[in-house]
Amino acid sequence: MVQAIQIHRHGGPEELRIVDLPVGEPGPGEVRIRHRAIGLNFIDVYFRTGLYASALPLVPGGEGAGVIEAVGPGVTHLAVGDRAAYAGPQGSYCEARVMPAATVCKLPDAIDFDTGAAMMLKGLTAQYLLKKTLPVQGLQAGDHVLFHAAAGGVGLIACQWARALGLQLIGTAGSDEKCALALAHGAAHAINYAKEDFAARVREITGGRGVKVVYDSVGKDTWEGSLSCLRPFGLMASFGNASGPVEPFAPGILGAKGSLYVTRQTLFTHMATRESTQAMADDLFAVVASGQVKIHIGQRFALTDVQQAHRALEARKTTGCTILTLP
């Protein structure tokens, strides 16, 4: 039996309950991993509230790091005793779990468990955004990009990675303190959207041209302003709904604003194969090991304090990455 956090109905943080659950042996293509640290992400809130559909009861969480305890038939890239980390299907809010091995990667010795748990889902998200989710004209050194929630877990990784790629990242955040954090992590400019019209400020920064791409995990509250930040043929890349889902819109607005492109991305489309997952992880491991990207863990909560962690996340009181710790 292992201690786990489970929800039996959708709702607020109070629905996250401590339970004891059995954990069995891995089947074909599976491993059992004993967690040393667990990542907390805003997508966990979507599963808790029911915005993202899931069968109940559910153990939330899609990110963790630990030690491989058992390996099922057909798994060749991991062995018992390996240090490992993953972004994967829901189920990480627990001491140990059996899960598909395809998204679990061997963790380099140079990266500790806390960092591994904090960076996989967020770092792989930053990887596919900056390396794969590109405007039709591509991105070249010196280009401006707009990244919302730049002081969050994905945002602080993206600030540093964009700087390493030579991009001029314009970050938005909801306070002066968060803007300062984004700038300290490599953003070229930071806009406090609580005080400024971010669309007008982006136009000012870019000399009226606009940006080639907007990376937006906020959703409803930033959608219209984001479209106004794009230059002709620019790309609106939506990858989250922190303020709520984007409302339906008439496609004609895309033509009126400059023949824009819109895409809604999800990480696990990019991680559809073992090979693609490993290639993305290798890219992330390399940029972290080089020191070009440092993983900022702003908060640590005990697994049993997960309700408090979710409240802090939803109240925008977190910066960088948040992890759940185990005794």
Predicted confidence (pLDDT) per residue in 152-210, tens digit: 999 999 999 999 999 999 999 999 999 999 999 999 999 999 999 999 999 999 999 99
CATH homologous superfamily of 2-121+274-325 equals Medium-chain alcohol dehydrogenases, catalytic domain (3.90.180.10)
Q: How many helices (H) and strands (E) does the chain have?
A: 10, 15
Distance CA 310, CA 14 (A): 9
Degrees to nearest 5, angle at CA 186 with 195 and 137: 90
Residue 269 pLDDT > 90: yes
> For the chain, where do the domains classified as CATH 3.40.50.720 start and end?
134-264
Distance CA 154, CA 28 (A): 33
Degrees to nearest 5, angle at CA 12 with 299 and 223: 75
- Residue keyed to tokens 């630990």: 66
Burial track 222-257 (b if 16+ CB lie within 10 A, e otherwise): bbebbbbbbbeebbbbbbbbbeeebeeeeeeebeeb
Distance CA 145, CA 195 (A): 21
> For the chain, where do the domains classified as CATH 3.90.180.10 start and end?
2-121+274-325
Residue 316: what pLDDT? 86
- pLDDT tens-digit profile of 119-164? 999 999 999 999 999 999 999 999 999 999 999 999 999 999 999 9
At 195, is the secondary structure helix, strand, or coil? coil
List Cβ neighbours of 236 (8 Å cut-off, separation of 6 or more).
Answer: 213, 214, 216, 226, 227, 230, 260, 261, 262, 263
Residue 241: what pLDDT? 86
- pLDDT tens-digit profile of 311-327? 999 998 998 899 999 98
pTM of the predicted structure, to 2 decimals? 0.92
Residue 242: what pLDDT? 83
**In CATH, what class is 134-264?**
alpha beta
Segment 264-281 shows an average pLDDT of: 96
- pLDDT tens-digit profile of 222-261? 999 999 999 999 999 999 988 888 899 999 999 999 999 9
Tokens (6 digits) for 245: 């889902």
Q: What is the dihedral of CA 96, 101, 102, 104, to 10 degrees?
A: 50
- pLDDT tens-digit profile of 84-111? 999 999 999 999 999 999 999 999 999 9
DSSP 28: T
Distance CA 139, CA 155 (A): 18
The CA-to-CA distance between both ends of the chain, in Å, stands at 16
pLDDT class of 292 with cuts at 50, 70, 90:
very high
Residue 213: strand pairing partners = 145, 235
